[in-house]
Structure 1
């Protein structure tokens, strides 16, 4: 299995990750050729070697015609992105092709602000179904974060960053690069966010910016000592969707390639994201991968309105719990009751206990540490006869495919959109895998 480990000691943004993947050997011409399938306005891509405090790295910059080409691509500045949008959004561009440094770029209709418009651009392209599917997941996470911050639905959100041409290029470009490198699993260490304040449309905001904070709330992170915004919403959304495992470091692992993707800042530390690329067989993993640092938290409840359970279970999952479930029991005096069971990381203990005690009628809990054996998991995208894309979860143990199942929410969305029975969507998705 091809594995990528991300060392985010200086934060991450979309263009930093794309630069890293190119530095690790992703085919530039393939990526640019695939990006030409998007009609997202006039732009040019700069890919160059830069030096960050002695580290040779790859820097990627996306510039748009209406935007001052001498202005640096400062992903960390929300104010800059807003300035870009004022110049980009809502202004039609003429369709033609130009070249920068031997790289050709295509142009087309104007950029849009909402999630549906962005996905219409991507879905109407000739990109592979897997790229479209992953792009939708990343943009949806961005939309959900913005919606949560502004108190709106994801379709009502007017994005500050998501509608920008450079963000679409960064996200789709990263997905294309990962595909080109044949990366099957992504791991990462603790994320440095930076500290202080950043200027945006609403004034000064604390770092991490509100949307970024929402996206990384279940990702191990720390502020560090750098007074800059080191993590952008795009970088955070890519981490949330793509990274499946976090561990402290790679000291005990062996890798075949190491690369660096540069950011815009000149800091007291190198403003780069470092990546290690290798095969799973090189990672010295045991045959039975054990995941520790987990707790099971339980409480018996016999006096609560059962209508509350759906809300409480959803809230626990939204706050980072791995799993939540109910077990029916009979308590003393033959009272029917439920055990509320929660599986979560140990660092979430205080937050989860507070939610249970405030949101339920429980006045006490019990907990104990557990370990678990986890099969490798992979999400595959399959295209139905209608053209709709469905996610299928595949599980592997010791390299063998042991199970696969269509994802319920993905199938439900297609069933509603096409007015078809849910079971038919499930069956067709499985048949597409044969």
Structure 2
């Protein structure tokens, strides 16, 4: 049975998951083709690069939003912060809209249910924090096109790699403070912490947000156990690069795939 282990020694985010799965042998051309089924391809471009993070060659995956170019004139209203660029200026989509989008795409049953379950986990957490029913949850940070791509893309790649079971290390969340839509919050952000309820969190002295809501939801929804590396014969290893850089710590997610 094919098993995948998320080794989150430097946290986990949606783009790190995609980068690591591609690095471990996922087919990026097939991913690009499959994602076209969502019918939002005029909203984004995808970029895959090889980068070196503290000596480790890894795959960096980026979603470039095409309409950001038209929005530069409206930037003055925002506190512009490089770390916030993914959080700020995308159209808001509700949980209902996102489910409709995924169902209309005619993915395989497995891909569809994986993607919807991950989104539901985020939606339930956001709804609880903001006090609104699931169907009315509007995804500010997560409704962004990049998170739709990250979550649906993860489902596509796991299916393509024929992964039957997923386990994960405990999740380090980082420390310090973060700027989000609603102001300055301690790390982990409220949604991330709610998503990780019932899941082992690892201590980390690194300053910054190591686990994003998308990353937390992927691990939280898909991993059957949070443990050290399980017994397996290792077949492939992938490293997905994050956006941050730390002096003595590679900001990568490692995935280990084996039988």
TM-score (norm 1): 0.55
The question of whether the paired residues in 1 share the 8 Å contact of 2:6 and 2:168 is answered with yes
Task: Classify the secondary structure of the residue corresponding to 2:122.
Answer: helix
Once the 2 structures are TM-superposed, how far is the Cα of residue 202 of structure 1 from its aligned partner?
1.4
Aligned to 2:253: 273
Change (3 A) 1:249 1:129: closer
Instruction: Quote the residue 2:62 is aligned against.
Output: 61
Greater helix percent: which structure? 2
Indicate which of 205, 213, 236 corresponds to 2:185: 205
8 Å contact kept, 1:149–1:211: yes
Which of structures 1 and 2 has the larger relative contact order (alpha carbons within 8 angstroms, sep 6+)?
A: 2
Aligned 8 A contact 2:96 2:136 in 1: no
Q: Secondary structure at the match of 2:47?
A: strand
1:260 has 2:239 as partner: yes
- 1:232-311 to structure 2, matched below 5 A, reads 232-250=212-230, 253-268=232-247, 269-279=249-259
- Pick from 221, 226, 242: which aligns with 2:201? 221
TM-score (structure 2 length as normaliser): 0.90
Match of 1:81, SS state, is coil
SS in structure 2 of the partner of residue 238 of structure 1? helix
Contiguous gaps of at least 5 residues in structure 2? 73-81
Secondary structure of the corresponding residue to residue 145 of structure 1? helix
Task: State the Cα distance separating 1:132 from its structure 2 match.
Answer: 1.2
Quote the offset at 1:129 in angstroms. 2.0
Task: Work out whether residues 44 and 66 of structure 2, in 8 Å CA contact, stay in contact via their aligned partners in 1.
Answer: yes
Q: State the alpha-carbon separation in 2 of the partners of residues 165 and 185 from structure 1.
A: 27
| 8 Å CA contact retained: 1:17, 1:273 | yes
Q: Deviations over 1:191-228 (max 9, x none)?
A: 11100110012111110100000011211112411111
Please tell me whether residue 83 in structure 1 is matched to residue 95 in structure 2: no
Quick one: distance in 1 between partners of 2:147 and 2:6? 20
CA distance in 2, matches of 1:115, 1:209: 20
The answer to whether the 8 Å contact 2:110/2:159 transfers is no
1:396-411 equivalences under 5 Å are none
User: Structure 1 unaligned runs (5+)?
Assistant: 90-111, 280-434
Deviation at 1:80, TM superposition (A): 2.5
Bigger strand fraction: 1
Q: For residue 155 of structure 1, give the secondary structure of its aligned residue in structure 2.
A: helix
| Structure 1 residue 68: Cα displacement | 4.6
- Residue 135 of structure 1 deviates from its aligned partner by 1.2
Distance of 2:126 and 2:152 partners within structure 1: 20
1:49 aligns with 2:28: no
Deviations 1:244-302 (A, max 9, x none): 1121345x6541221101100011310000111101xxxxxxxxxxxxxxxxxxxxxxx
SS at match of 2:89: helix
CA distance in 2, matches of 1:150, 1:116: 16
Q: CA deviation at 1:190?
A: 1.6
Cα separation, 1, equivalents of 2:187 and 2:202 = 11
The correspondence for 2:155, drawn from 175, 186, 193, is 175
Counterpart of 1:155 in structure 2 is: 135
Write the deviation string for residues 393-425 of structure 1: whole angstroms up to 9, x where unpaired: xxxxxxxxxxxxxxxxxxxxxxxxxxxxxxxxx
Q: State the match for 2:76 in structure 1.
A: none
Q: In the alignment, is the contact (CA less than 8 A) between 1:13 and 1:233 conserved in 2?
A: yes
Q: Indicate the residue corresponding to 1:2 in structure 2.
A: 2
Q: Extract structure 1 runs of 4+ deviating beyond 6 A.
A: none
Native 8 Å contact 1:195 1:223 kept in 2: no
> Does the 8 Å CA contact 1:256/1:277 hold for their aligned counterparts?
yes
Give the greater-gyration-radius structure (CA): 1
What is residue 210 of structure 2 aligned with on the other side? 230
Distance 1:218 1:36 in 2: 35
The answer on 1:20 being equivalent to 2:6 is no
Aligned length: 247
